[in-house]
Amino acid sequence: MQPTVTPEAIDEIREEALGKLDSLEDLDEVESWRVAYLGRKGRLSSILRDIGGLPQEERRAVGAVGNRSRSLLEERLSQRLEAIKSAGLAGLADTDRIDVTLPGRPIAVGRLHPTTQIVREICSAFMAMGFQVVEGPEVEWDRYNFELLNIPRDHPARDMWNSLWIDHRNERGEHNMLLRTHTSPMQARVMEKMRPPVRVIVPGKCYRYEATDATHEWHFYQVEGLAVDDGITFADLKGTLYEFARRVFGSDRRVRFRCDYFPFVEPGVDMSIDCFSCQGGGCRICRDTGWIEIMGAGMVHPKVLEGVGYDPRVYTGFAFGLGPERIAMLKYGIDDIRLFYSNDLRFLRQF
């Protein structure tokens, strides 16, 4: 049977196709539409293929209608595609768009904790004088924390350090392990391992069973110092600590030593610097005294030397201990030690 391809049949298919096109919502629907009308087996393609079977005189005119219809559908198809694509973009949230002209997000740069900074500053002042940095355990034996430091069990001197004991006992049932209350146990540990000359400083964390307030924390840092050799005198202690004070607090500092008691030194002292804030006139920082205490120190007690096997008739030495948080508080005018470990970024970012 001869197919009947008429201009009217072509018009009908074209109009039907155009009528559907505007209601297509997404790219999948448009593709189905294309296959249905313009695809190889699509309705318009099929009918146009039959034009070849028409008599010569009709072929031209019908062919022209067919070609125009196909061009029109193709043109409208691509318009519809564009419309759907730009509508889709417009529907994107602002956050999905990339504005390549925006400046980049700044990368947050971390910094050292103020305690770490001041510990390093203290250590480098002593390193410049030939001291070597060593570290030790925070969980310590009673033997090092107290006994070898001339603080026997049950001696009232132990009351100077409120201790956090570990649940661990010796064969007599006594607690023998604790969180170190100071860095001084490293004096004994270092001397057990080394022969003189000894010149070490020991930065590290200490713990005390303490009610906290503006000047007391239950954990804090100390920097311990120890120098032992034959012929070391109190003059060496004074000279070394004087030099330290000038390096950290300014070259015009004066120092003051007063008698103080620590069981592991004899004589023992506390060292003060003249107030860098009021230059000695009296102010809040120095509590109107003109002086600020910054550390404990003294000549190593002969019993401590004996305990680690040093002959006290040959060797002498000095030791000192200072609190870096206190030094930082003085240097930077911080009025509450609890700020150091409360992790408040508004505080920490200032250093």
> Of these, 126, 221, 262, 310, which contacts ligand PHE (CB under 6 A)?
262
Q: How far is the CB of 296 from ligand PHE (least distance, A)?
A: 3
Binding flag, residue 227, ligand PHE (CB under 6 A): no
45 class by beta-carbon count within 10 Å (0-12 exposed, 13-18 middle, 19+ buried): middle
Instruction: Using the minimum distance from each CB to ligand PHE, give the nearer residue, 64 or 160.
Output: 160
Instruction: Using the minimum distance from each CB to ligand PHE, give the nearer residue, 140 or 224.
Output: 224
Q: How far apart are the first and last CA of the chain?
A: 96
> Of these, 319, 334, 337, 339, which contacts ligand PHE (CB under 6 A)?
319
* Amino acid residing at 117: Q
Q: Which of residues 142-201 bind ligand PHE (CB under 6 A)?
A: 182, 184
Active site residue 190: no
Three-state DSSP at 232 gives coil
Binding flag, residue 241, ligand PHE (CB under 6 A): no
Binding flag, residue 272, ligand PHE (CB under 6 A): no
Q: How far is the CB of 110 from ligand PHE (least distance, A)?
A: 31
288 dihedral zone (left: phi>0; alpha: psi -120 to 50; beta): left
C-alpha pair distances (Å), 22 with each of 19, 30, 259, 278: 7, 10, 99, 86
Active site residue 218: no
Binding flag, residue 66, ligand PHE (CB under 6 A): no
Q: How far is the CB of 339 from ligand PHE (least distance, A)?
A: 21
CA 294/CA 321 separation, integer angstroms: 9
Instruction: Using the minimum distance from each CB to ligand PHE, give the nearer residue, 182 or 326.
Output: 182
CB 325 within 8 A of CB 337: yes
Active site residue 291: no
> Of these, 42, 66, 263, 298, which contacts ligand PHE (CB under 6 A)?
298
Nearest to 337 by CA among 320, 350, 323, 322: 323
* Amino acid residing at 27: L
Binding flag, residue 296, ligand PHE (CB under 6 A): yes
Structure tokens given for 331: 């240097």
Stated as kind and residue range, the H or E segment containing 74 is helix 56-90
117: Cα separation from own chain's centroid: 14
* Sheet containing 132-133: order of strands: 132-133, 198-207, 219-229, 316-322, 291-300, 265-274, 255-260
Active site residue 187: no
- List the Cα angle 289/321/114 in 5-degree steps: 80
Among candidate residues 62, 125, 222, 297, the one labeled active-site is 222
Binding flag, residue 265, ligand PHE (CB under 6 A): yes
Binding flag, residue 320, ligand PHE (CB under 6 A): yes
Among candidate residues 5, 227, 319, 328, the one labeled active-site is 319
Which active-site residues does the annotation give? 161, 182, 208, 222, 265, 319
The binding site for ligand PHE (CB under 6 A) comprises 182, 184, 224, 262, 265, 296-298, 319-321
